[in-house]
Chains A and B, each alone.
Chain A
Amino acid sequence: QKEVEQDPGPLSVPEGAIVSLNCTYSNSAFQYFMWYRQYSRKGPELLMYTYSSGNKEDGRFTAQVDKSSKYISLFIRDSQPSDSATYLCAMSDGTSYDKVIFGPGTSLSVIP
Chain B
Amino acid sequence: EAGVAQSPRYKIIEKRQSVAFWCNPISGHATLYWYQQILGQGPKLLIQFQNNGVVDDSQLPKDRFSAERLKGVDSTLKIQPAKLEDSAVYLCASTWEGGTEAFFGQGTRLTVV
Contact = CB atoms under 8 A, between A and B. Distances in A.
A99 B12 CA distance: 29
Contacts of B44: 102
A41 interface: yes
Contact of A104 (B31, B40, B45, B50): B40
Contact of A45 (B42, B104, B107): B104
Interface stretch (B65-73, B79-87, B94-102): B94-102
B14 interface: no
B25 interface: no
Nearest to B107: A43
Interface residues of B, number: 26
Interface string B13-51: 000000000000000000101010000111111001010
A99 B102 CA distance: 10
Contacts of A88: 42-43
Interface stretch (A12-20, A53-61, A90-98): A90-98
A103 B100 contact: no
Interface of A: 4, 6, 8, 32, 34, 36, 41-46, 49, 88, 90, 92, 94, 96-105
18 contacts: A4-B42, A32-B100, A34-B100, A42-B106, A43-B106, A44-B43, A46-B102, A49-B100, A88-B42, A97-B31, A97-B50, A97-B55, A99-B48, A99-B56, A100-B33, A100-B45, A102-B43, A105-B42
